[in-house]
Amino acid sequence: MPHKTIARLAGLGFIGKNNLLVTEDYGCGFCMCTVLTDAPIQVEKYPLISSRCGSCHICKRICPAKAIHGNEWTLSSGRENLIDVFKCSCPLKCMVNCPWTLKYAGVME
């Protein structure tokens, strides 16, 4: 299941420059899972949230493998535009240093 795509379509967050889903409440410091069911559910449409990374390049700068390119995610770009997944060797470093995650952790206001 493409968790990030489903979460983004559900209006939960945006794809950051580190290729992780970033939410306003938790940054990128959380895990997602999927529950498959045939139970009837109400479907709602949410507005898509554009990237809010702006001029921030902390994840690119902090990445020891230099795997993060520092580009904004767009609908037409693939993950190759954001990150070289074959170079990525320390994925938690970009996650814990993201300002959105630090805000959730109470480190930044």
What is the model's pLDDT at position 76? 86
3-state secondary structure of 15: strand
Q: Specify the amino acid at residue 9.
A: L
What is the model's pLDDT at position 83? 95
Given CA atoms 58, 7, 14, 77 in this order, what sign does their dihedral have?
positive
Work out how many domains the chain is built from and give that number: 1
Structure confidence by residue, pLDDT tens digits, 43-77: 888 899 999 999 999 999 999 999 999 999 988 88
The residue to which tokens 């995610």 are assigned? 73
Q: Which domain holds residue 53?
A: 1-109
Structure confidence by residue, pLDDT tens digits, 17-36: 999 999 999 999 989 988 88
The total of other beta-carbon atoms located within 10 Å of residue 28's CB is: 22
Q: Is 0.85 topped by the overall pTM?
A: yes
